[in-house]
């Protein structure tokens, strides 16, 4: 999508009041006007409880419709509210992407006894002791839903591992044993084999599991009308299954969009994943996020801000982001970009030509307790305005020093005029940049409002643009 922007429409601590879908629906007219083109919804299926953000998935087919795990609704609302939200988004021209959790299931309805072996959590290829019977929660019968939409019931044969043995009362990582049953080889090699992440790990090679998930995908897309999936925990999922699922969905929804989370800073195994899935999914640019985090945290050479990122190596597949629900304060992957750097960070993902950027709900609307933070809506709206009016055409970089970088966008036939962006992470500075021969003699102003001055473009289409300390200025024709 040309100049498209995703809003990740949730943070970890959204209030558990069941009104989030209604809140988002009320916001859609403004979001559409501001330049948001797609919403990434939180996991919409029934999880362990209404307090669950959605990643402790219980029943994929329950979208807030059945009385299960203590409530009909999910943390975010009911199925009817979800469907109304999606209709409203579509009415305003926004795409809607669903965050789907297929790697694991949680809080089963019954325990089962089966053969397993404990493995080393730091190297899952190493067994600790002999195989023995354990007892764990692996039987999912969905008593509140019954056979509606699917009569498939899960048992231990449909999983590869669990994290608790109630016979011994011990926690650990237990690989379930059985014929042709093992960790997948098509996953990250981190920790020896990173098939297992949490809860009851789904065996994506099991034919009954594959069939039910394929059926669910078609049912879910036809029921909700969503336009894409964001895959959770891709480095833990069998890559062959992911490719098969993508091809299955494209057989009936050829324009369906896929992107996902492969949480690894370096290119490394992400490149292997992209090869295995034939470049059919975009990925969050985790490497760029960590570069932004490092740049905000101390001395950093801004000329290296895109080093090792997907934007650098696979710009057509990159979903750059500043922060998300996993990196916000209080979470296991906390690496929250310092607020002083947010304007710089969002300029770097919103005002350049590469990637399909994603704005974080917590940055836009703010974070709730226990780590409250005021939102940056006005600042981000200003950058969205600049993106949608001026960030078009050829891009020329002027990465001149460790603390001073800039670039220009030279416009297009449909969007004439140029944009000059200058960033300083140090003192006030200036930088000479080319904005086009057609801009000769014109006067430029800082559309962010950071500088009150005006810049004159010389006879050759160059201007000396200025920026304040630790700030961004965006210059356009007055």
Mean pLDDT score of the chain = 97
The arrangement of secondary structure in 395-477, i.e. its CATH architecture, is: Sandwich (2.60)
Q: What angle do CA 325, 22, 326 make, to 5 degrees?
A: 5
Question: CA-to-CA distance for 427 and 470, rounded, in angstroms?
Answer: 7
The DSSP symbol for 177 reads P
Q: Render pLDDT for 1-41 as a digit per residue (tens, 0 to 9).
A: 678 999 999 999 999 999 999 999 999 999 999 999 999 99
pLDDT at 55 over 90: yes
Residue-level pLDDT at 1: 60
Please tell me the distance from the alpha carbon of residue 99 to that of residue 97, in angstroms, as a whole number: 7
Catalytic residue among 232, 282, 323, 471: 232
How far is Cα 170 from Cα 98, in angstroms, rounded to an integer?
35
C-alpha count within 13 angstroms, C-beta hemisphere, residue 59: 33
Computed from CA positions of residues 409, 414, 417, 423, in that sequence, does the dihedral angle turn out positive or negative? negative
Region of poorest pLDDT, from 116-125, 266-275, 348-357: 266-275
Q: Collapsing DSSP states into helix, strand and coil, what is residue 466?
A: strand
Q: Specify the 3-state DSSP secondary structure of 192.
A: coil
Please write the tens of the pLDDT for every residue from 295-313.
999 899 999 999 999 999 9
**Residue of 165, 238, 261, 471 marked catalytic:** 261
Q: How confident is the model at residue 218 (pLDDT cuts 50, 70, 90)?
A: very high
Q: Catalytic site residue 147?
A: no
How far is 96 from 411, CA to CA, in rounded Å? 29
346: left (phi over 0), alpha (psi -120 to 50) or beta: alpha
Q: Which CATH number fits domain 105-202: 1.10.10.60, 3.60.15.10, 1.20.140.10, 2.40.30.140?
A: 2.40.30.140
261 carries an active-site annotation: yes
Alpha-carbon dihedral of residues 239, 241, 247, 253, nearest 10 degrees?
-110
CATH 3.20.20.80 holds for 6-103+207-390:
yes
Secondary structure letter of residue 187 according to DSSP: S
Domain ranges of the chain: 6-103+207-390, 105-202, 395-477
pLDDT at 2: 76
Work out the burial of residue 278: count CB atoms within 10 Å of its CB; fewer than 13 is exposed, 13-18 middle, 19 or more buried: exposed
pLDDT value at position 109? 98
Instruction: Encode pLDDT of 238-270 as tens digits.
Output: 999 999 999 999 999 999 999 999 999 989 899
Residues 6+ apart with CB under 8 A from 340: 296, 470
Burial of 254 (0-12, 13-18, 19+ CB in 10 A): exposed
């Amino acid at each position: 999508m040309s100049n498209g922007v995703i809003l990740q429409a949730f943070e970890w601590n959204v209030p558990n009041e069941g009104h989030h879908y209604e809140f988002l629906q009320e916001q859609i007219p403004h979001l559409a006007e501001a330049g948001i083109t797609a919403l990434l919804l939180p996991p919409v299926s029934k999880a362990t409880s209404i307090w669950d953000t959605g990643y402790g998935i219980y029943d994929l087919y329950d979208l807030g419709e059945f009385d299960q795990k203590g409530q009909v609704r999910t943390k975010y609302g009911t199925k009817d509210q979800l469907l109304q939200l999606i209709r409203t988004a579509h009415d305003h021209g926004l795409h809607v992407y669903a965050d789907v959790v297929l790697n694991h299931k949680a809080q089963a309805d019954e325990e089962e006894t089966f053969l397993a072996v404990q493995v080393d959590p730091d190297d899952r290829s190493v067994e600790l002791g002999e195989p023995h019977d354990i007892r764990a929660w692996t039987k999912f019968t969905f008593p509140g839903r019954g056979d509606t939409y699917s009569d498939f019931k899960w048992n231990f044969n449909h999983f590869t591992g669990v994290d608790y043995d109630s016979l011994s009362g011990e926690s650990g990582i237990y690989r379930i044993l059985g014929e042709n049953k093992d960790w997948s080889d098509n996953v990250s090699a981190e920790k020896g084999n990173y098939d297992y992440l949490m809860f009851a790990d789904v065996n994506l090679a099991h034919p009954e599991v594959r069939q039910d998930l394929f059926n669910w995908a078609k049912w879910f897309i036809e029921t909700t009308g969503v336009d894409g999936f964001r895959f959770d925990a891709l480095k833990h999922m069998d890559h062959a299954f992911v490719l098969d699922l993508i091809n299955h969905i494209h057989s009936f929804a050829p324009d369906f969009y896929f992107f996902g989370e492969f949480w690894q800073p370096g290119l490394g195994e992400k490149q292997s994943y992209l090869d295995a899935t034939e470049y059919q999914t975009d990925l969050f640019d985790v490497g760029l996020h960590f570069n932004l985090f490092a740049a905000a945290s101390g001395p950093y050479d801004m000329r290296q801000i895109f080093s090792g990122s997907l934007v650098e190596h696979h710009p057509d597949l990159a979903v750059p982001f500043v922060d998300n629900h996993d990196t916000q304060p209080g979470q296991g992957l906390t690496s929250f970009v310092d607020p002083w750097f947010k304007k710089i960070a969002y300029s770097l993902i919103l005002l350049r030509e590469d990637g399909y950027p994603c704005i974080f709900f917590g940055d836009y609307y703010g974070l709730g307790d226990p780590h409250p933070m005021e939102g940056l809506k006005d600042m981000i709206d200003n950058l969205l305005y600049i993106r949608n009016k001026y960030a078009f055409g050829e891009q020329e970089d002027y990465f001149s020093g460790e603390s001073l970088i800039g670039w220009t966008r030279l416009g297009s036939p449909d969007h004439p005029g140029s944009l000059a962006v200058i960033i300083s992470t140090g003192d006030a500075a200036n930088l000479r940049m080319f904005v086009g021969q057609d801009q000769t003699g014109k006067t430029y102003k800082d559309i962010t409002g950071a500088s009150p001055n005006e810049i004159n473009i010389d006879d050759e289409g160059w201007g000396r643009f200025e920026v304040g300390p630790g700030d961004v200025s965006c210059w356009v024709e007055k």
